[in-house]
Structure 1
Amino acid sequence: MSETEPEKKGWFARLRSRGAPASEPPRPVEPEIEKEAETPVSTPPTLSASGSTSEVLDARAAAEVEKEEQVEKKGWFARLRSLDTPASETPRPVEPDVEKAAETRISPPPSPANGSASEAPDTWAAAEVEKEEEVEKKGGWLSRLRAGLAKSTKRVTESITALFTKKKLDQQTLDDLEDVLIQADLGVTVASRLVGKLGKERFGKEVTDEEVRAAFADDIAEILQPVAMSLVIDRAKKPHVILVIGVNGSGKTTTIAKLANLYKSEGRKVMLAAGDTFRAAAVEQLKVWGDRAGVPVVAKGTGADAAGLAYEALEQARAEQYDVLLIDTAGRLHNKSNLMAELAKIVRVIRKLDPEAPHSCLLVLDATTGQNAHAQVETFKAMTPVDALVLTKLDGSAKGGVLVALAEKFKLPVVAIGVGEGIDDLRPFEARAFARGLMGLS
Structure 2
Amino acid sequence: MYQPLADELRPTTLDDVYGQEEILGEGRMLRRMIESGRVPNLIFYGPSGTGKTTVANIIAAATQRTLYKLNATTASTADIREIVSQLDTFMAPNGVLLYLDEIQSFNKKQQQSLLEHIENGKITLIASTTENPYFYIFNAILSRCTVFEFKPITPAAAEKAVRRAVDYLAKKEQLEVTAEPGALEHIASSCGGDIRKALNAVEALFLVARTGDTSLHIRLEDAKAVTQRSAMRYDREGDNHYDCLSALMKSIRGSDPDAAIHYLARFLEVGDLPACCRRLLCSAAEDIGLAYPQAISIVKACVDSALQLGMPEARLPLADAVLVLATAPKSNSGVLAIDAALADVRHGKTGVIPRELQNVHADSAGQEREQGYLYPHNFPNHWVPQQYLPDLLKGTVYYHYGDNKVEQAARHYWDAIKGGSDGNSGR
TM-score interval (norm. to shorter) = under 0.3
TM-score (norm 2): 0.23
Higher relative contact order (CA 8 A, sep 6+): 1
TM-score (norm 1): 0.23
